[in-house]
Structure 1
Amino acid sequence: MKKQFKSRLILLFGMLCLPLAMSAQKQEWHLQSRELDKVYGTGVTRAYAELLKGKTPTPVIVAVLDGGIDTLHEDLKANLWRNPKEKWGDQDLDGNGYKGDVFGWNFLGGPNGQVTNESSEYQRVYFKYKSLFENVQNETDVKKKDRQHYQSWLLSKSLLKKGDTAAPVDFRSKEVKDDYFNIKDRFYGNANLIGDPYFHGTHVAGIIGAERGNAVGMDGVAGAVKLMGVRVVPNGDEYDKDVALGIRYAVDNGAQIINMSFGKRVSPEREMVEEAIRYAEKKGVLIVNAAGNEGADVDSLPHYPTPFYMKGDKRASNMITVGASGSTEAGLVAAFSNYGDQTVDVFAPGVGIYATLPNNKYSPLSGTSMATPVVAGVAALLKSYYPNLTATQLKQIIEQTVTKIDFPVTLPKSGGKKVKMTELCRTGGVVNAYEAVKMAESMK
């Protein structure tokens, strides 16, 4: 998934971040405010200084579903979630089925190795069903039980690129010893969160909850936070089953917020993921997911996971989908960000976000991958000071307190066309932590 950093913005697969070709700047503009600092940040710093001073927060568990986390990082290790009943080793002391899951769990691997590289989902789907569907002339010729797969195959065919080759017949990596199509076969993987491409998850984790006020590196959005690592995304597209089980693992082990900075255009086992989202919804867990980096309208070109359920017109009440914004009026909507006035809920800072990288390093990255943990961090901040807020209330507060954008913004990949912000997301605004804290206080 992650290739060499280049001197220009390049889109990376699966995980939604863009290496930023610029000198590292420790100015964390995403924490600043329009009123005090003249940038379209979140006002987090102002909220701490003016509204939360003297108040005592309660730690909130945030699960980072990603490519892994550097659990040794100087700015993260103090804020890592630690399974209170588990120890390192080949034992399952807490009886949850996952041996040695001290900091979380890795669904990409097995007893003898780690998964690093995987194909894109559209490749897996295209070659898996090619022999079944390549001669079909009309969808009515396809059995009803196969029509969803047929539609996925058609979409995959449209995405196929020159040079794409067939994935192995057994497309699941040999390191993962599971029955992929059986969601009940869930006890696989290992406890190692440090496996490529963990730089992405390390950056995401830092945005949410790098230790605040320690004079090291940078400050996370949320101070009272415990970061649970759940490794589900390799170099390539994530598997639906791993995502579904990752959500369930996070919920079952106490996560109150789940960050999902990844996505893909094809989701053949979408039901697995949807059922997991419903499970999180039932348990009152907020999910924050990235809109994607293709500069596309995801109302018409779906990006998975999606907040919409397959049957009916209902959408998940516990999901916030996030687009990426910049610091200035001229560059408010990131040129790479997906959008959609039905699917995308809010925009948040996602351009040049300075945060943690493996081996005690730091760097700015751009992407909806970065905007998403900004929102997850704001949700964790609210939950830590106002612990009785439910997932739906957190979503309500974050959406109702955005900084409304009342000037025309540039539509991504349109050649400069100007549109209203309400045409790009449901709320027409950028997340505002300062106003969100004020609203949470009033609801208390």
Structure 2
Amino acid sequence: MKKYFTILMMSVLVAIGSAAKAQLVKQNSKVEEQKQSNRDWYNCSFEKDGVYGVGVNEAYEFLKGKKAKAKPIVALIGTGIDTEHEALKANIWKNPKEKADGKDNDKNGYVDDVNGWNFIGGKDGQVMPFVNREGEREFLRLKDKYGDIMKDGGKFYTFVSGKREECAAPENMEEYNYFNSVIRGESRLLQAYGAINSVYNSRYYMGLFDREVRAVSLKKTGFTVEDVVKMCSPKTAEDPTSRGIMIAALQMRAHMMKNDEWERNRDAFLSETYLADQKKKYEQAVARYGNDGRQAIVGDNYLDINDRAYGNNVLLTADAAIGTMIAGVIAGQRDVEGRNNPIAEQARIMTLVVEAGAGEPYLKDMALAIRYAVEHGASVVVLPQQNSLYPEVQKQWISEAIRYAEQKGVLVIVPVHEMSRDMSEETFFPNRWMDGGKELTNLMTVGMSDKEGMPSANSNFGAKELDIYAPGIKVLSACTGDIYQYGNGVPMASAMVAGVAALIKTYYPKLTGSQIRDILLQTVTSRKGVELEKNVTRGGKNAVDLYLFEQLCLSGGIVNALEAVKAADKLSK
């Protein structure tokens, strides 16, 4: 998730040294005695407390005397959660038509989905330990069609028993180019597999150079790399073959080894050990990234959106700490000593598991989870972080699911990545324009900010592509096992926005997701005009540039619960 890495950027580490150890257990009295602006700062405001929180405390002051009209459901699509946590168990969504009796009481295809569903679980209760990246899945899907076909000049070749043979051009050139450009940048498997083909190609060219230099020279031995470069380099700069690349590789090796002997450099490229090393690296990559257990554990066809009868109801997963912390920010009882103060007391948390360990969620799971959430009454849906690779058909599944949520008045929230990417230059999904039609009005992108109101230095950004910032650094929340921890990460920021949206739905349930998105954008704590340094990555190079806050996101500010509920109150009248 993401361009080249997508481990969920979430940490439950807190500070440095001994302080960190104390915060990995239940909070002690010293933590409980801290000022709220330190311990529970995200509920505070700059005007009242001097920190750039969300202003939830003041929002509740405004709402005093007003009747809560709904218990909005917030669907967390991601990891599992601890549904028995003391701070959450009263706020866990319960499927009103389902019982834990081993039957599909509500006939929705999911047995015992009392509190949600796990889309990466098996019928025997197992849960996938990790999920592959999308790039690895795409490589495995297309490997047999294109993995062994190389283009050199205007012709296509394969290597049979190490010998290069010309072959027909692929029938689907668009898909072939997709495999060798987009997938190559996203798949460690393809990079490792491509290295084997590169060895075969370099062996072919070294043999060709050897024959060419001996054909035009009177010498039989004692050739230098310089001799080969002079005799075998491309005749023109426009030569479309790999010849120039192989000449450059030869020169680079000779320079690095400080040895200009042709035969010695040639033999290094022809070495069986060199080839064996690349094959071993590929085998290691396959062992690590090639099989996430989907077929054995889940057993569905992940490329068939109509194959829906899979998964289980296991919600307390190995990665439940992350989901529990997100849920703890959104929902639960406020003003309980020793705990954090959640944003929306009346909200109910629905858990839909699509993530495990490292990797990127299957898009089919995400699409079905969105639809499950909408069909079971969710008002707010929180997705995992964006991804830079959405295969076309599966991208349509996601866009149709979000469009369905839009039609039903559901707000969909997605956190951006911590990759320092300018999203006006690099596309990440989901986004509001992903289906090529009318802009999705219910999709909200979120980045994280700190107490000082400054965005994360590494957050992805875009004046149109990123909607809003929210607190996401050193946030206290519930964690698995009835403890409380501080956490950092963009998912925490998305929880802030989801919490404020749920608070609005609690008192103004008729407002739609699209209306709430507009309200949140229009009522931010403005940071326009603030100049700041921001990390940015372009073309693989890292730099630090100066930006105005409004150049980083559409709203130019940080989510503000007080102003949002005021605007919702006005609009609802």
TM over 0.5: yes
Is 1:408 matched up with 2:509?
no
Given candidates 79, 86, 96, the residue that maps to 2:91 is: 79
Alpha carbons of structure 1 residues 147 and 75: separation in structure 2 relative to 1, 3 Å: farther
Match of 2:65 in 1: 54
Q: Which residue of 1 aligns with 2:389?
A: 266
Residue aligning to 1:437:
565
Aligned residue pairs total 428
Structure 2 partner of 1:425 = 553
Alignment of 1:98-137 (within 5 A): 98-112=110-124, 113-134=126-147, 135=149, 137=151
- Residue 470 of structure 2 aligns with an amino acid whose one-letter code is A
Unaligned runs of 5+ in 1: 2-10
Cα deviation, 1:103-129, whole Å, max 9, x if unaligned, reads 111111111111122222222223432
Give the corresponding residue for 2:219: none
C-alpha RMSD over aligned residues = 2.4
Gaps of 5+ in 2: 24-30, 33-38, 155-168, 193-280, 537-541
- Aligned letter for 1:56? K
Q: For 1:265-414, list aligned pairs within 5 A.
A: 265-268=388-391, 269-312=394-437, 314-329=438-453, 332-405=454-527, 406-413=529-536
Whether the 8 Å contact between 2:445 and 2:468 is mirrored in structure 1 is: yes
Measure how far apart 1:155 and its partner are: 2.5
- Secondary structure of the residue aligned to 1:192 is coil
Residue of structure 2 equivalent to 1:94? 106
Once residues 434 and 185 of structure 2 are traced to their aligned partners in structure 1, the CA distance between those partners, rounded to angstroms, is 24
Query: What SS is found at the alignment partner of 1:256?
Result: strand
Corresponding letter in the other structure for 1:427: S
CA contact (8 A) 2:128 2:294 kept: no
Identity of aligned residues (%): 35
Q: Which amino acid aligns with 1:293?
A: E
Residue 248, structure 1, aligned to residue 260, structure 2: no
Contact 1:261/1:368 (<8 A) preserved: no
Query: What one-letter code is carried by the residue in structure 2 that aligns with 1:212?
Result: R
**Contact conserved, 1:12 with 1:18, CA < 8 A, in 2?**
no
Q: 2:241 maps to what in 1?
A: none
Q: What code does the residue aligned with 2:128 have?
A: V
Deviation at 1:169, TM superposition (A): 7.4
2:343–2:499: 8 Å Cα contact kept in structure 1? Answer: yes
Residue pair 2:43, 2:56 contacting (<8 A) in 1 also: yes
Amino acid at match of 2:181: L
The 1:307–1:196 alpha-carbon spacing in structure 2 relative to 1, beyond 3 Å, is farther
How far the C-alpha of 1:153 sits from its partner, in A, is 5.6
Query: How far apart, CA to CA, are the structure 2 residues paired with 1:64 and 1:169?
Result: 26
Residues 228-269 of structure 1 show CA distances to partners (whole Å, capped at 9, x for unaligned) of 011111112110000001101111111111011333322222
User: Aligned letter for 2:559?
Assistant: V
Instruction: Show the counterpart of 2:380.
Output: 257
Residue 5 of structure 1 corresponds to none
* Structure 2 residue identity aligned to 1:132: K
Matches within 5 A, 1:121-270: 121-134=134-147, 135=149, 137=151, 147=174, 150-151=177-178, 154-161=181-188, 165-166=285-286, 167-168=289-290, 172-235=294-357, 236-268=359-391, 269-270=394-395
The residue type paired with residue 178 of structure 2 is Q
Alpha-carbon offset, residue 136 of structure 1? 6.0
The 3-state SS of whatever aligns with 2:325 is helix
How far apart, in 2, do the equivalents of 1:179 and 1:387 lie?
38
Q: Which residue of 1 aligns with 2:51?
A: 39
Contact 2:444-2:467 at 8 Å conserved across structures = yes
Contact 1:152 1:267 in 2 (8 A): no
- Change in Cα spacing, 1:315 to 1:92, as seen in structure 2 (3 Å) is same
Q: What is the Cα deviation at residue 379 of structure 1?
A: 0.4
Pair member with larger Rg: 2
CA distance in 2, matches of 1:56, 1:261: 33
| Larger helix percent | 2
- CA separation in 1, counterparts of 2:83 and 2:352? 12
Contact 1:14 1:238 in 2 (8 A): no
Structure 1 length-normalised TM? 0.90
Q: Is the 8 A contact 1:81 1:226 kept in 2?
A: yes
